[in-house]
Amino acid sequence: MATTNLNIRMDKGVKEQAEAIFAELGLNMTTAINVFLHTTIREHGIPFPLKLDEPNETTVAAIEEGRRLAADPHGKGYTTMEDLRAALEV
């Protein structure tokens, strides 16, 4: 197996904290990174969910407005893009 070097820049504190956790697991940084990369290849993606913890105020307001509009039985709806564009005057 041919090997290559990988240089990564990171916050010193993050590195130290990660190394402490890896040491408790019996791993070094190189092995931990290799586990991550092999799992990424096997799963064809990041091997853990990527998500935002909480939506910001603007997003929360937009979600609430969308729910109000969707629940309004008298709200205007559009069945075609042409109707929507005409209503938006686009």
pLDDT tens per residue across span 2-33: 999 999 999 999 999 999 999 999 999 999 99
Confidence band, pLDDT 50/70/90 cuts, at residue 89:
confident
Q: Is 9 in the same domain as 25?
A: yes
Given a contact cutoff of 8 angstroms between Cβ atoms, the answer to whether 15 and 25 are in contact is no
Question: Which residues constitute the domain of residue 9?
Answer: 1-50
CA distance 70 to 76: 10
CA distance 28 to 39: 17
Cα of 48 vs its chain's centroid, Å: 9
Q: Is the pLDDT of residue 34 over 90?
A: yes
Q: Is 6 in the same domain as 43?
A: yes
Q: Is 64 in the same domain as 46?
A: no
Q: How many CB atoms lie within 10 A of CB 7?
A: 4
Confidence band, pLDDT 50/70/90 cuts, at residue 1:
confident
Given a contact cutoff of 8 angstroms between Cβ atoms, the answer to whether 64 and 56 are in contact is no
Q: Is 36 in the same domain as 69?
A: no
